[in-house]
Amino acid sequence: MTKFIFVTGGVVSGLGKGIAAASIGLLLKNKGLKVAVEKFDPYLNVDPGTMSPYQHGEVFVTEDGGETDLDLGHYERFIGDNLVKECSLSSGQIYSEIINKERKGDYLGGTVQVVPHVTDIIKNRIRNLAESSDADVVITEIGGTVGEIEAESFLESIRQFRSEIGGANALFIHLTLIPFLKLSGELKTKPTQHSVKELQRHGINPDMIICRSEISIPDELLDKVATFCNVDRKYVFEGIDVDTIYDVPINFHENEMEERICERLGIPTERKNIDKWKTLVNNYKNPEKEVKIAIVGKYVALADAYLSVSESLKHAGAYHKCKVNIEWVNSEDIELDGADKYLTGLSGILVPGGFGNRGIEGKIMAAKYARENKIPYLGICLGMQIAVIEFARNVCGLKDANSSEFGLFEHQVIDLMEKQVGVTNKGGTMRLGSYPCTLKENTLAYKAYGEMFIDERHRHRYEFNNTYRDILKNHGMILAGTSPDNMLVEIIELKDHPWFVASQFHPEFKSRLYKPHPLFRDFVGVAVKN
Ligand code: GLN
């Protein structure tokens, strides 16, 4: 029978619930259990696809085209299994489903209410994932912080769920903060006590508490948390700040958290080591060299906006035993001061995905700088589109070349794909999810992947305009990857350049610490030598 773990957070947001849930998933999988993970988000957007990265961080895209919360990225990177759209549920999805049903008359005259209609949908989601994944353990992370008004229906649902399946089959984990007061030099448990009281007000007593803290928490304080929060002492864990998120599973493992979880849920398992993971993390933490790579984007003030990209650079760095220092460059600054000021002396330039025309010219200047100065360049989605625009303008002489995303131009080298014409709804309507791509022999991409047929994840509306294929090719652009029917250009490269590769897809969603993405791996590899 499937067992269920629910992860909630208290005191403040940003404690790393997602990493904690992912780490627990990793440790359980390491024990040979089949794990499924999902994230519930209390906000009213249907998905994060329409939200600004400044509001929400990056949008993580699943194989099946779900635009999901970035925590799903952590789950995939730690646990290693691909997730599906259904692993991400927001209040917006629930309400839109209910209101559609209500308008159709499906409730047959009944009053539609939070309990049972909203809570039923939430509980069904948990059950459905258990069934469809056939998992031994389903981990459900509840987004937001306990006490927030939007989270109430989720807490009520998991409370009901537990009583329906029986307490022995569910485990509530609460992640809280034990703040360190610098002035008095003390760690304080009171906020944790309050947060647990708030949970209890919803009828939930946590079975396990993970106390996040800047410094190591003395045993007496963990004892105190156990007593005041009504939790068995052996289920109170310290979650100390670490150098890298990849250390979290190691810490949990050393405190035998996964053993306690399995005992509590009545899952008979043996202690397993995590030496393989430790070696990977060790390589990552002990680099022999360093390299500086620029990420040129619009949302550089919030690293979470490019989370999977920066994680992918870390994976590639670990592979080459090299620390990748990211230089965050705001493309609007390049527009003001020129590319030299920000890009001189860097070993690689990466232009990630993006939307809208703000900062576009600065990105084009960055691509030009990389091309002319023969600096390794990795363009992702918009980063490919601007590389095409730059090449069309400055090499092919198509002076006003641009993307139709940014206005009407004589040479729309990037244009709306046919299927997108007439689409007005913004949510969930792009080219989304995994698509096949065929690589051309003797290209950098082919060399990187070591195979001809690949699949990669997409999230965009615009495409390379085929009208310009010949002129761009004749001037030295290589179409290194296309859709199998050759209709869509998926990867471009440049002749006479050490490493200039740009893809219409997002390679960053498939990179893992134990399996760096081939494009990132080779990009960092050449940058190290640069
Ligand atoms: N704005 C571009 C498009 O929609 C690129 C999207 C992206 O970089 N993800 O095609």
User: What are the boundaries of each domain within the chain?
Assistant: 3-279, 287-529
Atom of ligand 1 nearest to the CA of 354: 8
Does residue 378 contact residue 367 with C-beta atoms inside 8 Å?
A: no
Q: What's the confidence (pLDDT) of residue 50?
A: 80
Measured by CA distance, the residue closest to atom 1 of ligand 1 is 355
pLDDT, tens only, 345-357: 999 999 999 999 9
Dig out the tokens for 151 from the structure.
Answer: 């989270």
Cα 458 to ligand 1 centre (Å): 9
Q: From the CA of 355, how far away is ligand 1's center (Å)?
A: 5
**What pTM was estimated for this model as a whole?**
0.93
Check if the beta carbon of residue 18 is closer than 8 Å to that of residue 70: yes
Q: Is the peptide bond before 268 cis (omega within 30 degrees of 0)?
A: no
Average pLDDT, stretch 116-140?
95
pLDDT tens sequence across 374-430: 999 999 999 999 999 999 999 999 999 999 999 999 999 999 877 767 777 777 778
349 vs 108, which has greater pLDDT? 349
Q: Comparing 298 with 4, which gets the higher pLDDT?
A: 4
| Closest Cα to atom 6 of ligand 1 | 460
Tell me the percentage of the chain whose pLDDT exceeds 70.
Answer: 99
The pick from 51, 306, 418, 461 for probing ligand 1's pocket by mutation, whose C-beta has the most ligand atoms within 8 angstroms, reads 461
Backbone angles phi, psi at 335, to 5 degrees: -60, -40
Q: How does 90-126 read in b/e, with b if 16+ C-beta sit within 10 Å?
A: bbbbbbeebeeeeeeeeeeeeeeeeeebbbebbbebb
Q: Which pLDDT band holds residue 47 (cuts at 50, 70, 90)?
A: confident
pLDDT at 529 over 90: no
Per DSSP, 518 falls in state H
Residue given tokens 């030496």 in the structure block: 275
Give the residue numbers annotated as catalytic, written as ranges.
381, 506, 508
Residues 495-507 have a mean pLDDT of: 97
Give residue ranges with CB within 6 A of ligand 1: 353-355, 381-382, 405, 459-462
Residue 430 CA: nearest ligand 1 atom is: 4
302 or 236: which carries more pLDDT confidence?
A: 236
CA of 352 to the centre of ligand 1 (A): 10
Question: Is the confidence at residue 530, as pLDDT, over 80?
Answer: no
Mutate to test the pocket of ligand 1, among 61, 351, 378, 382 (most ligand atoms within 8 A of CB): 382
- Cβ count near 485 (within 10 Å): 8
The two domains 3-279 and 287-529 share their CATH topology (first three levels equal): yes
Nearest atom within ligand 1 for CA of residue 352:
8
**Mean pLDDT over residues 263-269, rounded?**
95
Q: Using 50, 70 and 90 to split pLDDT, how confident is the model at 318?
A: very high
Q: Ligand 1 center to residue 459 CA distance, Å? A: 7
Pairing of strands 289-297, 348-351: parallel
Please determine, for residue 11, whether its predicted confidence score (pLDDT) is greater than 90. no
What is the per-residue pLDDT for 485?
A: 94
Looking at residue 311, what is its pLDDT?
A: 96
- What amino acid is encoded at 405 in this protein? E
Ligand 1 atom 5 nearest Cα: 382
| Average pLDDT, integer, range 168-182 | 95
Q: How confident is the model at residue 317 (pLDDT cuts 50, 70, 90)?
A: very high
Nearest residue (by CA) to ligand 1, atom 7, is: 353
Could you give the CA distance from residue 345 to residue 326 in angstroms, rounded to a whole number?
Answer: 13
Of all protein residues, the one whose alpha carbon is nearest to atom 3 of ligand 1 is 460
Write out pLDDT tens, residues 51-103.
Answer: 887 778 899 999 999 999 999 999 999 999 999 999 999 999 999 999 999 99
CA of residue 363 to ligand 1 center, whole Å = 13
pLDDT-derived band of residue 487, with 50, 70 and 90 as boundaries?
A: very high
Tokens of 504: 């219409």
Q: Which atom of ligand 1 is nearest to the CA of 380?
A: 8
Residue 223 pLDDT exceeds 90: yes
Choose which CATH entry (3.40.50.300, 3.90.850.10, 3.30.479.10, 3.40.50.2300) describes domain 3-279: 3.40.50.300
Residues 6+ apart with CB under 8 A from 387: 351, 367, 371, 377, 379, 492, 500, 502
Average pLDDT of the residues of the chain: 94
Q: What is the whole-number distance in angstroms between the Cα of residue 380 and the centre of ligand 1?
A: 9
Q: Which CATH superfamily is domain 287-529 in?
A: Class I glutamine amidotransferase (GATase) domain (3.40.50.880)
Distance 316 CA to ligand 1 centre (A): 24
Averaged pLDDT for residues 355-360 = 92
Over 90: is that where the pLDDT of 333 sits?
A: yes
- State residue 119's pLDDT score: 96
Counting ligand 1 atoms within 8 A of each CB, the residue from 462, 463, 489 with the most, and so the one to mutate, is 462
